[in-house]
């Protein structure tokens, strides 16, 4: 009875303090709202309308049609024209454009001989210099691999349209069936990930300051002189934020569904369990930080220390599978990685609780370990 009463005392106190803190209350709602809108619209892995320069050395009707055909792909926009490749390269160095298309003066001859046009010359031998010459050349700022690969995608652009000839039907080697997200919209993958990122940020931030704040405001000396036990204090501190975490998840997923048409598949049980476990894991991780930090500023720095790898290594921005082994191990030690996997599986691939049990158990482990470590580290002494 008394332990419960003490937990409730801490809980009620936290809620009252939170209610009086207008800025924090505003952040609870505005943070997920603004981040969702910002990232939902902004993050797009399908790069389009790259600014490019055009160097048309042939200046013929054909070269103009070729440039139009390239524009029609929407991959690039020709924002400037130059007389020489050197000038175009200069524009790339200055950052005004990311790529330049050089159309040589013999483009007509090259197009006529191009096998992709299928003028009946058949596939050229690899050694045939004349026939294997490309039609034109791209100069690309290769430093950004995503832009480079978008332009590389233009390498095999069909040329049939240039001569108003029907494009030859080519048979792909593989048939690819997209099981989920058939429209290939980035937002569908981003929004569930945002739940993980925003919860990581707010949950760890709230609790990492929780214990330190009591010390900084001078309340700790009173608190440690009461019969409250460390674990009671820890539980009383995290329970209010569980509700806040749920509200934030609800805002992100609800708006994500309405605005970005993110499917809400899978089981409600799986979704709720994964979210609750992740909230618990993040909160108890924050508590551990709170027992290490000496000031609220230090607590904030530690939150960032956890947040950055959570954004970059959890699979939110880059696929987990593409990372080196060592980075994968680090990622496994972050609760965000496990939640990222679980919530994407549930929302996007209709997974059930049984399908995500491994990650759910990881999160449960993080939560319990965090609570135990924080309670053990918290000493009711000043020395």
Partner 1 sequence: MSAPISSDEVRSDQVQPDQVIRAQGLTRRFGDFVAVDALDLAVERGTIYGFLGPNGSGKTTTVRMLIGLLTPSAGSVTVLGHSLPRDAEWLKRRIGYMTQRFSLYEDLSVRENLQFVARIYGLGYRQAKARIRTLLDAYELADMSRRRAGAMSGGQRQRLALAAATMHEPQLLFLDEPTSAVDPQSRRDFWEKLFDLVDAGTTILVSTHYMDEAERCHRLAILERGKKRADGPPQQLMDDMGARVVEIEAPDQRRLRQQLLALPQVVSAAQLGSRLRVLVADDIDDPVAWLRAQPVAVGAGTIEAARPSLEDVFVISTGGAERE
State which of residues 8, 31, 92, 231 lies at the interface with partner 1 (CB under 8 A): 8
- Angle at the Cα of 289 (from 205 to 328), degrees rounded to 5? 90
| 155 in contact with partner 1 (CB under 8 A) | no
Per CB under 8 A, which region of 5-13, 262-270, 317-325, 368-376 contacts partner 1?
A: 5-13
228 vs 279, beta carbon nearer partner 1: 228
Phi-psi region of 122 (alpha: psi -120 to 50; beta: other; left: phi over 0): left
| 295 in contact with partner 1 (CB under 8 A) | no
122 vs 218, beta carbon nearer partner 1: 218
Site string for partner 1, 98-137 (x = CB under 8 A): ----------------------------------------
3-state secondary structure at position 52: strand
Nearest distance in Å: CB 199, partner 1:
26
- Beta strands at 99-103 and 137-140: parallel, antiparallel or unpaired: antiparallel
2 vs 149, beta carbon nearer partner 1: 2
CB 279 within 8 A of CB 60: no
In the sheet that 76-81 helps form, which strands lie side by side, from edge to edge?
A: 76-81, 50-56, 99-103, 137-140
Nearest distance in Å: CB 380, partner 1:
7
Nearest CA-CA partner of 311 in 19, 27, 39? 39
Nearest CA-CA partner of 191 in 128, 252, 251, 241? 252
Q: Give the span between the Cα atoms of 303 and 297, in whole angstroms.
A: 10
- Beta strands at 76-81 and 50-56: parallel, antiparallel or unpaired: parallel
Nearest distance in Å: CB 218, partner 1:
5
| 23 in contact with partner 1 (CB under 8 A) | no
Nearest distance in Å: CB 236, partner 1:
10
Site string for partner 1, 190-229 (x = CB under 8 A): ---------------------------xxxxxxxxxxxx-
13 vs 90, beta carbon nearer partner 1: 13
Element housing 100 (H / E): strand 99-103
| 166 in contact with partner 1 (CB under 8 A) | no
| 68 in contact with partner 1 (CB under 8 A) | no
Residue count at the site for partner 1 (CB under 8 A)?
29
CB 57 within 8 A of CB 46: no
Nearest distance in Å: CB 16, partner 1:
6
CA distances from 189 to 180, 239, 355 (A): 10, 30, 19
10 vs 262, beta carbon nearer partner 1: 10
CB 79 within 8 A of CB 53: yes
Nearest distance in Å: CB 221, partner 1:
5
11 vs 65, beta carbon nearer partner 1: 11
Q: Give the span between the Cα atoms of 169 and 380, in whole angstroms.
A: 77
Nearest distance in Å: CB 294, partner 1:
16
Residues 6+ apart with CB under 8 A from 71: 77, 78
| 9 in contact with partner 1 (CB under 8 A) | yes
| 381 in contact with partner 1 (CB under 8 A) | yes
Nearest distance in Å: CB 213, partner 1:
11
Per CB under 8 A, which region of 117-125, 139-147, 330-338, 374-382 contacts partner 1?
A: 374-382
Nearest distance in Å: CB 14, partner 1:
10
Give me the phi and psi of 125, to 5 degrees please. Answer: -70, 150
3-state secondary structure at position 79: strand
| 258 in contact with partner 1 (CB under 8 A) | no
Q: Give the span between the Cα atoms of 299 and 282, in whole angstroms.
A: 14
| 168 in contact with partner 1 (CB under 8 A) | no
Nearest CA-CA partner of 64 in 108, 23, 32, 94? 108
What is the contact surface with partner 1 in residues (CB under 8 A)? 1-2, 5-6, 8-10, 12-13, 16-17, 20-21, 217-228, 380-383
């Amino acid at each position: 009875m008394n332990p419960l009463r003490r937990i409730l005392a801490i809980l009620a106190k936290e809620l009252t303090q939170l209610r009086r803190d207008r800025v924090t209350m505003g952040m609870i709602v505005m943070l997920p709202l603004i981040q969702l809108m910002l990232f939902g619209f902004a993050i797009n892995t399908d790069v389009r309308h790259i600014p490019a320069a055009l160097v048309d050395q042939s200046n013929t009707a054909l070269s103009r049609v070729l440039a139009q055909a390239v524009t029609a792909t929407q991959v690039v926009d020709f924002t400037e024209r130059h007389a020489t490749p050197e000038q175009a390269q200069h524009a790339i160095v200055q950052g005004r454009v990311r790529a330049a298309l050089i159309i040589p003066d013999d483009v007509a001859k090259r197009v006529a001989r191009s096998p992709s046009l299928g003028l009946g010359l058949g596939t050229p031998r690899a050694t045939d210099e004349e026939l294997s010459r490309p039609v034109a050349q791209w100069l690309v700022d290769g430093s950004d691999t995503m832009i480079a690969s978008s332009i590389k995608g233009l390498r095999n652009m069909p040329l049939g349209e240039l001569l108003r000839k029907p494009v030859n039907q080519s048979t792909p080697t593989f048939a690819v069936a997209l099981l989920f997200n058939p429209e290939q919209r980035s937002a569908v993958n981003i929004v569930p990930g945002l739940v993980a990122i925003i919860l990581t940020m707010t949950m760890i931030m709230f609790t990492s300051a929780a214990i330190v704040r009591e010390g900084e405001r001078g309340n700790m000396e009173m608190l440690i002189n009461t019969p409250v036990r460390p674990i009671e204090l820890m539980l009383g501190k995290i329970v209010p934020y569980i509700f806040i975490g749920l509200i934030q998840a609800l805002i992100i997923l609800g708006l994500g569904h309405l605005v970005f048409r993110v499917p809400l598949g899978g089981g409600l049980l799986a979704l709720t369990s994964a979210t609750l476990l992740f909230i618990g894991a993040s909160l108890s991780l924050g508590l551990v930080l709170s027992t290490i930090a000496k000031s609220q500023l230090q607590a904030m720095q530690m939150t960032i220390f956890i947040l950055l790898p959570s954004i970059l290594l959890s699979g939110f921005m880059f696929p987990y599978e593409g990372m080196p082994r060592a980075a994968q191990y680090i990622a496994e030690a972050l609760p965000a990685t496990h939640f990222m996997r679980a919530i994407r599986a549930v929302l996007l691939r209709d997974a059930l609780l049984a399908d995500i049990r491994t990650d759910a158990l990881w999160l449960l482990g993080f939560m319990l370990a965090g609570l135990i470590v924080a309670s053990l580290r918290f000493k009711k002494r000043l020395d």
